[in-house]
Amino acid sequence: MSYWIWYQGDFERWHAMKQNFSRVERGLAWPAFWKSEGIRNRIALSKEYVLEEETNFTVYAHGVGFVLVNEDKYPFESAITCGPGRVKVTVHLGRLDALPSALVSGDVITSGPGWISDDYAEKLPAGFSPLYTDEEQDPAEWNYSEKEYLPVKTESVCGGTLYEFGTELTARLEIRASMMRLRGMTVYCGESRAEALAGKECYLFWKPEITGFGESATGHCPRCALRYVFIEGEPVELTAVHQYVDFPVRTAFACDDAKLNRIWNVAEHTFRLCSGIFFLDGVKRDGWIWSGDAYQSLLISRYLLADPGVEQRTLVGLRGNDPMTGHINTIVDYSLIWVLGVKTHIETFHDGEFLRLIYPKVKSLIEFCKKRTDVHGFLIGVDRDWTFIDWAEIDKDGPVGAIEMLYYAALSAAADLASMADDQEFENLYRAEADRIRECIREHFWSQELGAFIDSFTSGRCHVSRQTNLLAIRCGIADEEQTRLVSANVLHSDKVPPISTPYFQFFALDVMGQLGEIETVLDVVRSYWGGMLDLGAVTFWEEFDPSVTGDAQYGMYGDPFGKSLCHAWAASPIYLISRYLIGLEICEDGDDRFVLTPHLELFGVLECTLPVGENGQIVLSWDGRTLRVKALSVSCKLRVWGQEISVNNAAAVEVQLP
Amino acid sequence: MSYWIWYQGDFERWHAMKQNFSRVERGLAWPAFWKSEGIRNRIALSKEYVLEEETNFTVYAHGVGFVLVNEDKYPFESAITCGPGRVKVTVHLGRLDALPSALVSGDVITSGPGWISDDYAEKLPAGFSPLYTDEEQDPAEWNYSEKEYLPVKTESVCGGTLYEFGTELTARLEIRASMMRLRGMTVYCGESRAEALAGKECYLFWKPEITGFGESATGHCPRCALRYVFIEGEPVELTAVHQYVDFPVRTAFACDDAKLNRIWNVAEHTFRLCSGIFFLDGVKRDGWIWSGDAYQSLLISRYLLADPGVEQRTLVGLRGNDPMTGHINTIVDYSLIWVLGVKTHIETFHDGEFLRLIYPKVKSLIEFCKKRTDVHGFLIGVDRDWTFIDWAEIDKDGPVGAIEMLYYAALSAAADLASMADDQEFENLYRAEADRIRECIREHFWSQELGAFIDSFTSGRCHVSRQTNLLAIRCGIADEEQTRLVSANVLHSDKVPPISTPYFQFFALDVMGQLGEIETVLDVVRSYWGGMLDLGAVTFWEEFDPSVTGDAQYGMYGDPFGKSLCHAWAASPIYLISRYLIGLEICEDGDDRFVLTPHLELFGVLECTLPVGENGQIVLSWDGRTLRVKALSVSCKLRVWGQEISVNNAAAVEVQLP
């Protein structure tokens, strides 16, 4: 098998740039507002062989250059004979307009693992992907899977025709009509009926590009999010070609609660739509790669796609080049959360090769952060750094408690990653710094008087937010007593403003789960996500406020259709149900890497299959009396009814309700 | 006037990449073997205005994005109305495949000076060029001037036709022939007759790209160096479309020595062919931008094109991005020589704006070098650094004398530039380090016993090379006594191997000139360059050895046609004649910036015009009795026959031979 190869990480950076430049809003392109992390235009790809006999190979390449075999130069796309003996093959490549790449095809000499990529500054293992093995491909282009959809409903309305597809799609449109008609046509796409009918108020509308002639021309609109399409005039023949990344199905969920089943299914559908080359925030908007959103996707995907490819592409694409010149997405917290994401990924897949590649980037990120600390060692925002945390009101004066808590968590995660990468020196260094910061946080941000962590110790306002206190627990800052106080004084207090964004609701419910308040988690999942279902949602929304009615639900950020109706973080029930209700925990290391602690008391019947790592699966079947658990290509520890049972790759384990 | 604008420096880096990727050798593309310094794909271009009244403007752009006017977004290519009052205009741009750029066209709001470019890491003044002011242009493409040439001679030979053009060109070919004939055609280009007839041995041959049909098709070959073209079979209609950068003529030279006149003219022709977007080493080969070659071109061009544009493009293109990851062209000496080049440019043009932009790059280069010094503070090559100096035999063990001398010169130049940039702190720092290094060099590399500088003090071989000793004088290491000894023991000694490369011959003759050995300079110019003329050269060669005869002259680097017959450094007579014979010196600063000390004793008659800086010219006329000097748009000091006369922009000065 020959793989297309490229400079390590440039494939991800190239496609991340493309992705971040692809946003369009009401006819205006909106490339993401942070530093684009470019690629190397000149690379050398090489491998040394000791050949026992003569062999042949051919090099295919995107770019200009030549093949160097020891001292001899050869062109691309012609058979090269070499050996026996020691042979060094180097593909020299330059490409101005896109990612340079090469494919070396031969019996013995064949590109893929073991090749080195060099940009004349740093040599790294060449990048490759199982998705690119065909000589006709160009890794600068993503090959989406495609599926045609026809409208399931057509309606004459507002002097035109409204076409409805069965669900939300990420599709390019093909419109068969006369050249004449196509020339004057505007195609309005909507996630909602109201949006498609809103004319220039809707987010995505297009003047189709026309191919063909006369009466049998075709209009083409670019790939975009749509469920409804409105076109003025009589009906035309319309096909939506859905373009997607075809992640295999590895998960199933069914229980005796029909609403929960529906929530799971819509969440899965939502998440798959938002997962492509990268984990995206939403399908209509932004289509940018955000570190905060990606982190939640990493936790959700652990129980759904469990695909290392999309995770690694996302982590590499987010992080960019060294040295860092600014925070990821310009957001201080998002740099820190990226480190948590790396740890999450490594925990899920235990991929030592990827760890070796990404760990230096963790180090340089921490190094970058260290340069932005104050006298306490607290991380502070400088220049154009954006301290986000959440849209809610948080006191961001001076060092921000929530940031320091994430900084502690990132340092701890970096220490864990250093340990896995056998970098004892930096493990000690990060661990010591983390411990110091934690003490410093407890000293400055804990208010014994309020029994809570405050947002800022410099403003004098002693503002208490749910966000800061949730992070204090989730990041491991709060000790047992502080956790008890925070739970009482903040999490279960009506005086502290509630979480209003689903982004932070993820963390809130995660903490509820960690604190063992499983029924609260289930209740919120059923009411919040069930509430969207009750309003006819076919995908879950960026945000949901049950008190808002009618088309007003579609508004956000002061925009009547600003809300994304298919948003990755809204798929969090997958995570919450898997992690806290089914109780599958994926731990860092050791014998107890996979622990299953199902809350069977919540289910009358439960049939579910969850992925574990890249190849494993855990199959659980519960009929109210008997629990059957199978572990495929993996082993796990089952904890149920006071028992602890090892489930191995061999036979199923059966346990009766005591 | 509206200018296309881009991120500062990216225009140069983009075209430098293109240039360095354009080399082709016997059908194989050969992108330059060093790190390509990429461009920013996502930029923001902005300017703030305080408008007295309402105004309109339109933005043209290459890339996707939008225009932000205060808080409002607008598309490209549509009229935008704003004001009165404070208005901030920002063009947000992303472009994946080439340099992003924008042109803002309006009565008041118009792109060019004063605009800021931002890549979300560093804000710099936006780049622009007087060459790009038309909304139809794309700064990612260079607009060459074109001139058609028809063959001046056609010859039936070797079963085909040899076409000869009047001189060497950088031309694309258009071949009118039948589709049938074009399909089987190979077009062999040569700088020499022998090369064009050498079949696949010649450097540049092409399969033409075909447009049109049947009997009236056209074959197209890409822009390349050629003087001769060979095509098998009967003659075809052939046009060479010479593509060049049209630098105005600002120089004239004529004296009573016909050979010297011819040398000047051929040198000028050679230099113009090698000067395009950048100063190139040669036309056929390499077509890469080399710092060492560019430095000599900067000194030559001072007296010929005196075009700040090509100089700045070359300096910026060579230097690349910060932080530096390797030496310029991978060569330690070339990084140092680049700093000398910057100083040369600033001396010539006194461009404070460019100094402000380039000075930080000088600093980061010196910083990069400082990280590669040993216990003595000597600069040493590490990893893949190439210590070049010259092709000749030089003892490169341990710290290399020639490198340290250049390092001293670069530190001194950096100190001078720091002074011009009002950076007192770094001026002192660089000056102190330079002084320290000079003493250290004298201590370790001077051999009192040999009365010469040795190449290396670590090898124990005490090898004495002409190169090291020439640099000792040229860089200001040798004191008066050492200079005297070096001159006697090395420069005028037959025991030390002669300089064999024209690259170092430049420095050798420059030192001869500095030492006042003007007649030697003249003799070498007449014999070496005259020797090439005697062999029919129409452009000057990369190298010339009078002892080699016939087609063997075309060989170099072990390749029968490896020698470039049109090479920039071979145009050095322009510099040598102007600087030492006509005696026009351009100094760093002060009242005596331009000093003319003509060696009239060498000329019976001399009529010449030399450029001075961007706009000035000095016109000299000498008939053997009377010297007339005019200074246009400039003033200079004339030193002749013991007199010192100020020549101002007003009237001509006339002096009689005493």
**Average pLDDT of chain B to the nearest whole number:** 96
Q: What is the pLDDT of residue A243?
A: 98
For residue B215, what pLDDT band results from cuts at 50, 70 and 90?
Answer: confident
Q: What's the confidence (pLDDT) of residue A492?
A: 97
Q: Please give the Cα distance from A111 to A126 (Å, whole number).
A: 9
**Residue B340: band (very low, low, confident or very high) from pLDDT cuts 50, 70, 90:** very high
Domains A325-498 and A584-656 equal at CATH topology level:
no
- A577: its two tokens: 């149900």
Q: How confident is the model over B393-415, as a mean pLDDT?
A: 97
Residue B590 pLDDT exceeds 70: no
* DSSP state letter for B497: P
Q: For residue B42, give the chain A residue with the closest CA.
A: A36
Residue A95 — φ and ψ, nearest 5°?
A: -145, 125
Chain B within 8 Å of A530 (Cβ-Cβ)? no
Asked whether A623 and A640 are in contact (CB, 8 A), the reply is no
Cα of first residue to Cα of last residue in chain B, in angstroms, is 53
**Extended beta strands in A178-255, E state:** 187-190, 204-206, 209-211, 217-232, 237-244, 252-255
Give chain A's length: 658
Which one is predicted more confidently, B502 or B517? B517
Residue A590, pLDDT score? 67
d(CA A464, CA A447): 9
CA distance A617 to B497: 76
Confidence (pLDDT) at A488: 97
Higher per-residue pLDDT: A650 or B223: B223
Contact between A42 and B73 using a beta-carbon 8 Å cutoff = no
Please tell me the class of the A325-498 domain. mainly alpha
Cβ–Cβ gap B35/A120 under 8 Å = yes
Q: Is the pLDDT of residue B133 over 80?
A: yes
Distance from CA of A192 to the nearest CA of B (A): 24
- The per-residue pLDDT for A587 is 85
Interchain CB contact of A571 with B (< 8 Å)? no
Whether the pLDDT of residue B102 is over 70: the answer is: yes
Torsion of CA B360, B364, B366, B367, to 10 degrees: 140
Q: What is the 3-state secondary structure (H, E, C) of A338-405?
A: HHHHHHHHHHHHCCHHHHHHHHHHHHHHHHHHHCCECCCCCECCCCCCECCCCCCCCCCCCCCHHHHH
Q: Which residues of chain A have pLDDT under 50?
A: none
- pLDDT tens for each residue of A416-437: 999 999 999 999 999 999 999 9
Assign domain B332-387+393-486 to its CATH architecture: Alpha/alpha barrel (1.50)
CB contact under 8 A, B31 and A42: yes
At B214, the pLDDT band (50, 70, 90 cuts) reads confident
Q: Write a three-state SS string for B293-324.
A: HHHHHHHHHCCCCCCHHHHHHHHHHHHCCCCC
Specify the CATH number of the domain A4-128.
2.60.120.260
Q: What is the pTM of this model?
A: 0.96
pLDDT given for residue B591 in this prediction: 67
Mutation target among A15, A26, A28 for the B interface, most CBs of B within 10 A: A28
Candidates A33, A43, A66, A322: best to mutate against B (most CBs of B within 10 A) is A66
Contact by Cβ (8 Å): B176, B263: no
- Measured between beta carbons, which residues in chain B are less than 8 angstroms from residue A330? 120
pLDDT of residue B164: 98
User: Å from B632 to nearest chain A CA?
Assistant: 44
DSSP code per residue over A468-535: HHHHHHHTT-S-HHHHHHHIIIIIT-TTSPPP-SHHHHHHHHHHHHHTT-HHHHHHHIIIIIHHHHHT
Q: Measured between CB atoms, which of A66, A96, A120 is closest to B30?
A: A66
Tokens of A430: 């990060």
Q: Does B590 touch chain A (CB under 8 A)?
A: no
Residue B321: burial class (beta carbons within 10 Å; 0-12, 13-18, 19+): middle
Chain B residue with the nearest C-alpha to that of A14: B96
- For the structural domain made of A584-656, what CATH number should be given? 2.60.420.10
Which pLDDT value is given to residue B383?
Answer: 85
Q: What is the mean pLDDT of residues B68-74?
A: 97
- H or E segment to which residue A272 belongs: helix A258-274
- B224 — pLDDT class (breaks 50, 70, 90): very high
Give the tens place of pLDDT for each residue, A536-559.
999 999 999 999 999 999 999 999
CATH number corresponding to B587-656:
2.60.420
Chain B interface includes A200 (CB < 8 A): no
Domain B145-244 sits in CATH 3.40.50.2300: no
> What does the pLDDT read at residue B651?
81
Secondary structure letter of residue A553 according to DSSP: G
Q: Tell me whether A30 touches chain B (CB under 8 Å).
A: yes
Predicted local distance difference test score (pLDDT) of residue A501: 87
Task: Determine what percent of chain B is predicted with pLDDT higher than 90.
Answer: 96
- Amino acid A449 reads E
Of A63, A92, A325, the CB nearest to B121: A325
Verify cis geometry, omega within 30 degrees of 0, for the bond prior to B323. Answer: yes
* Partner-chain residue, chosen from A94, A323, A330, that has the shortest CB–CB distance to B36: A94
Confidence of residue B221 (pLDDT cuts 50, 70, 90): very high
How would residue B28 be classed by pLDDT, with cut points 50, 70 and 90?
very high
By CB atoms closer than 10 A (0-12, 13-18, 19+), residue A590 is exposed
Shortest alpha-carbon distance between residue A185 and chain B (Å): 20
Section B264-277 average pLDDT? 98
Q: Would you tell me how many other CB atoms lie within 10 Å of the CB of residue B657?
A: 13
Read off the pLDDT of residues B290-303 as tens digits, 9 standing for 90 and up.
999 999 999 999 99
Nearest to A17 among B30, B44, B96 (CB): B96
Assigned token pair, A42: 């000149």
Q: Quote the pLDDT of residue A493.
A: 97
Q: How far is CA B338 from the centre of its chain?
A: 11
Place of tokens 């060019």: B112
Neighbours of B533 (CB within 10 A): 16
DSSP symbols for A84-130? SEEEEEEEEEE-SSS--EEEEEESS---STT-EEE-SS-EEEPEE-T
The model's confidence at residue B628, banded by pLDDT at 50, 70 and 90, is: very high
**pLDDT for res A644:** 95
Domain ranges of chain B: 4-128, 145-244, 332-387+393-486, 587-656
Asked if the C-beta of B142 comes within 8 angstroms of chain A's C-beta atoms, the answer is no
A39 touches chain B (CB under 8 A): yes
Does ipTM surpass 0.90 in this model? Answer: yes
